[in-house]
Amino acid sequence: MARTDITQNDPRGPSLRALERLTMLLLGAHIEAAQLAVVAGLDAATLERFLTRRCVSLDAVDVLAIVRTLGCSADQLLGLAPDLPRPAVTRRCFEAARARLSGSATARTPPRAPKHAPRSVFITAAMATTDSPSPPPRPLRAEMIALQALPQRLRIALSSAGITQAEFARVARMNLAHVADILRGRRINVTVATLVTMAQTLRCETDWLLGLKDGGPTAASMRQRFGDMGGRVAPRDDAPPRDDQQPLRAALLEAAPAAGAPGPATG
């Protein structure tokens, strides 16, 4: 899953790229921000602040909700892919999502009594409302469940490469405690900036990290990325890599810059 980093010479941050891409998607498909908030299950005030640059960033759960509603990929939304879906495709996906939402709302609407019905009928209708099953969770609840794939995918990438949490945190310039919390599932709703940093460090797509598609970072892409970023993977004494990890670990060790190796003591 090697990919070209089109943001290498882009001075804009991940949040600004996401803002511009989301604005283009909404304008092209003639979708209002309030409409997107309702259909995607987003907080309307937060979305409005983000679009007017009064909110710093969106979270991973927001990204999942938006891409599933507008039919784009996470890489496209975050500016990591060079193209966007056609406006007609975006509009069609949005209308389909709105139809699903309307259908589920209609299915759980309690029966209404006739205007001139006797009192007993109104009591029956009230009981139907009380005894009806609880409505399904909001869309963001489903996105939080889907986001459980993030720590699993990150763990797969680190394990296949045979690198430790500390090594990944150093190369990605992330706090080690933050990386550990992600792997334990304690902080899965990461910001857009963190999500992009992880994807660029692993040389993979954000859609793979979010569990939206299969595949993963290859040995060649990891070797190139860690070499470009000055990564150095040292052998682990406590947990030697399995046989199927040896080729990728050897590639990473070979890609490590010689200048980063500690030199002899000069006294």
199-234, pLDDT tens digit by residue?
A: 988 888 999 999 998 876 665 666 556 656 655 544
Who wins on pLDDT, 59 or 227?
A: 59
pLDDT on residue 142 = 76
Calpha distance 64→49 (Å, rounded): 19
For residue 62 the two structure tokens come to 């927001």
* All structural domains of the chain with their residue ranges: 14-99, 144-235+243-257
Q: What percent of the chain has pLDDT over 90?
A: 43
User: Which pLDDT score, from 0 to 100, does residue 203 have?
Assistant: 85
> What are the angstrom distances between the C-alpha of 207 and each of 78, 89, 100, 116, 215?
10, 19, 23, 55, 10
pLDDT at 257: 45
Lowest mean pLDDT across 89-98, 117-126, 133-142:
117-126
Helix (H, G, I), strand (E, B) or coil at 32: coil
* CA–CA separation, 260 and 188 (whole Å): 32
Q: Which of 4-8, 88-92, 125-129, 241-245 has the highest mean predicted lDDT (pLDDT)?
A: 88-92
More confident residue, 140 or 53: 53
CB within 8 A of 27, min separation 6: which ones? none
Please tell me the pTM assigned to this model. Answer: 0.68
CA count, 13 A, side-chain hemisphere, 58: 31
Q: Residue 113 and residue 120: Cα distance in Å, rounded?
A: 10
Instruction: Supply 100's token pair.
Output: 């699903």
Assigned CATH class of 14-99: mainly alpha
How remote is the C-alpha of 262 from its chain's centroid? Answer: 37
Q: What is the pLDDT of residue 191?
A: 92
Residues 158-199: pLDDT tens digits? 888 778 899 899 999 999 999 999 999 999 999 999 999 999
- Other C-beta atoms lying within 10 Å of the C-beta of residue 207: 24
Topology given in CATH for the domain delimited by 144-235+243-257? 434 Repressor (Amino-terminal Domain) (1.10.260)
Contact (Cβ atoms closer than 8 angstroms) between residue 180 and residue 172:
no
DSSP 8-state code for residue 59: B
Check residue 233 and give its pLDDT. Answer: 47
The answer to whether the 14-99 and 144-235+243-257 domains have the same CATH topology is yes
**Mean pLDDT lowest among 51-65, 72-86, 99-113, 248-262:** 248-262
Report which of 200, 145, 150, 144 is spatially closest to residue 172, judged by C-alpha positions.
200
Q: Are 211 and 149 in contact (CB under 8 A)?
A: yes
Mean pLDDT highest for which of 42-56, 74-88, 102-116, 227-241?
Answer: 74-88
Average pLDDT of the segment spanning 122-128: 36
- Residue 236, pLDDT > 80, answer no
Q: How many CB atoms lie within 10 A of CB 52?
A: 10
